[in-house]
Amino acid sequence: MKPFIVVLLMVTLLTSCIAKTEVIEDIYMALAMAVDFKPTHDDEASLDRSRKGIDLTLSVPLYTADHKVESISFKESGITLKETISSINHKSDQYLSISKLGAVLFSENVLRSGIGEYAETLNADPLISGRLILAMTEGRAEHILQGDFRTNNQPVGRYLCNIVENNFKTFDLPRMNLHQFIYEWKGIGMDPVMPIIEISEKKATLAGIAILKDDSYMGKLTVEEIVPFTWMKKNTRNGSYVVRLPEQNTTIQDSTTRVRYKYLPNHNQFNIYIRVEGKLTKSDLSKSIELSEVRNAINKQFTNQCETVIAKLQKWGTDPLGLGNVVRSRVRNWDERIWKEQYPSLNIKIIVDSTIRR
């Protein structure tokens, strides 16, 4: 009797495995999503989601018999993200799963109107990873997914993720994903950011960083402003930095930075101290450069760049550096409402100290 039960159990398990494999082969796995507002000629409606719906586009890879990868798109319109994701399966010959999503792109109009509702919908799905990349496009987000890229035989969704991840590693950027967005959006004394992606010469590229106030887009930091923003926000290592000298430019490589903060409430002042260490790129030109000249140039140049970024953030009334959170951890009876009133006129001083070697 026992051998029969064992055989029956093995058959049941094997049958279950075969059925699961067949299900996986019979579904589409979306790797990227684009969220746009439906086109309208009404300027007021373009920022009012209650007066217009959304266009949702999913990018799905197809693997051909000759080992090539093609990406196809599925598009559906609806009012809410959850509703539209559910109804998009009506246009597919196989079940469309979003459990492997790697990136979600929002058009500028959608981001400007606020994406908190969309982020919460994605975050509530237990199958979606918190490492999901959220990014903005300055045009329609669907055009990015439908772009004719040179992807080296990669699915479009994975290609876009690799573009962003490479920039995270190359520039040692702060993490910008679903988990971090939720944390900074709902956190006290801080605001979220996200990368901006554009198409250039049939390639996707990082075009800057979108600065948000709560869950809404306020403005853009350019690619050149990413480094000073990052250095003010976190410690970095293995970076590089171009220094402009009167007669030539030189590059500091293998740079490490450390940042610390000091709040002076009696003077309505917040000091950001940045310590920079690095070495000159080896070249014939660098041998003739005085290290003191490079050091002074770095201190001045970087201070000016940081002040430009700070001026933008204060103008927009947004705090992606998390200065409010720093003050909250050091001041008793901190009031977020009072801090937001004081922040635009706060005297934020940048102090840069660099050590350069050959």
Q: Which residue has the higher pLDDT, 293 or 226?
A: 226
- Cα distance between residue 336 and residue 68, in whole Å: 54
As a CATH number, domain 225-357 is 3.30.300.210
Say if pTM beats, i.e. exceeds, 0.75: yes
pLDDT tens-digit series, residues 51-82: 469 999 999 998 877 778 888 899 999 999 99
Report how far apart, in Å, the C-alpha atoms of 95 and of each of 60, 71, 104, 132, 287 are.
11, 16, 19, 21, 63
Task: Please give the mean pLDDT across all residues of the chain.
Answer: 86
Residue 341: which region, alpha, beta or left (left: phi > 0; alpha: psi -120 to 50)? alpha
Q: Does pLDDT of 146 surpass 90?
A: no
Long-range contacts of 88-93 (CB under 8 A, 24+ apart): 88/56, 88/58, 92/28
Among 58-72, 234-248, 285-299, whose mean pLDDT is lowest?
285-299
| Domain ranges in the chain with CATH number 3.30.300.210 | 225-357
- Cα distance between residue 351 and residue 336, in whole Å: 26
Query: Taking the CB of residue 65, how many other CB atoms lie within 10 A of it?
Result: 5
Residue 328: which region, alpha, beta or left (left: phi > 0; alpha: psi -120 to 50)? alpha
Lookup: tokens for 173:
């950027």
- Cα distance between residue 101 and residue 60, in whole Å: 10
Q: Does pLDDT of 122 surpass 80?
A: yes
In contact, 344 and 317? CB cutoff 8 Å = yes
Q: Does pLDDT of 22 surpass 70?
A: no
Burial 209-225 (b: 16+ CB within 10 A, else e): bbbbbebbbbebbeeeb
